[in-house]
Structure 1
Amino acid sequence: MNDQTGKIVRLGVLFRGVALTGLLTGLTACASSMSSISPFSPPPADPSSPVAAQANAAAKASKHAKTPRFVDIPPIPTDVRPDVEFKKAVGAEKVAGDKLRRDTAPSTWTLSDTEGYAFKARKLGKAPPADIPTDADRAATEAFAKAARDRATAPPSKPQ
């Protein structure tokens, strides 16, 4: 059984040759059937389309457009920092991030002098005295409510 490996190799070479021949034949058939269509020109517009004339005009105009040349490629910018400086900047950001994580890790700080902080906050944020409504304020509110009720009319009732 082990002495028949030569047959398998010969069959593999034969199969590869047949497959390659079939592939080349298929590509040749495709190329010959599409010889009138160029991949570099736009396809024709559908004549039943309402914008066919405009599409064809745009396609014709694009054929005569100026194609870019290698000379038109702008020069490499000189105001960009080199790769080494980018690497240094990234390293500095990583170091700063690591330091921030170390400084704000759990159990790295404690609260102290909370009463002093609260005293300063109360001193800075003096709350306005609570305005207790007087009898005049209550009378003005009641007068406003009475005037609103007098102006209000009930919606018309539905006929039954």
Structure 2
Amino acid sequence: MNGETRKIVRMGLILGFAAGATACASPFSSGQVDPSSPVAAAATAAAKVKGPRRKFADIPAIPTDVPTVDQIRASVVQQQAAGAALNKATAPNTWELKDSESYAARARRDANPPALAAPTEADRANTEAFARAARGRASAPPSQPQ
């Protein structure tokens, strides 16, 4: 069984290497352009233009403000510790409500609900006058043919 597996793997590696070598045989040659493409002329012209040669001096300097591995590790450990402390502090049944009377008194004072009073005769008369005026302005909806 293992001998057959080795043969299959060996054959796959040989075929893969051969295909890769064929594909990479000439990496510096230009590919073929489809002549029916609307950009065929521009693509062919762009392939013939020589680009600027890069120099080693064009490589940017190594940044100096990159944190080291130890600094990153310390930061991760600190964040994990802070997360664990937060989970512990906010776990169920880890807090209780205390000293809520001052908050409730302030909320009651800020709410300041209006005093409830029974309507007077003047209020009833105003309401009836408004209703009478509204009924006077109202009209029946148009009848719909059936």
- Paired position in structure 2 for 1:71: 57
Alignment of 1:34-113 (within 5 A): 38-61=26-49, 64-113=50-99
Structure 1 unpaired stretches of 5+: 1-11, 150-160
Separation (CA, whole Å) in 1 of partners of 2:66 and 2:113: 55
What value does the CA root-mean-square deviation take over the aligned residues?
4.5
Q: What TM-score results when the alignment is normalised by the length of structure 1?
A: 0.53
The alpha-carbon distance between structure 1 residues 88 and 128, as it changes in their structure 2 partners (threshold 3 A), is: farther
Aligned length: 125
Percent identity over the alignment is 42
| Secondary structure at the counterpart of residue 106 of structure 2 | helix
The alpha-carbon distance between structure 1 residues 75 and 125, as it changes in their structure 2 partners (threshold 3 A), is: farther
Separation (CA, whole Å) in 2 of partners of 1:112 and 1:58: 76
Counterpart AA for 2:26: S
Task: Select which of 99, 119, 122 maps to 2:105.
Answer: 119
Separation (CA, whole Å) in 2 of partners of 1:117 and 1:95: 33
Counterpart AA for 2:95: W
The alpha-carbon distance between structure 1 residues 82 and 127, as it changes in their structure 2 partners (threshold 3 A), is: farther
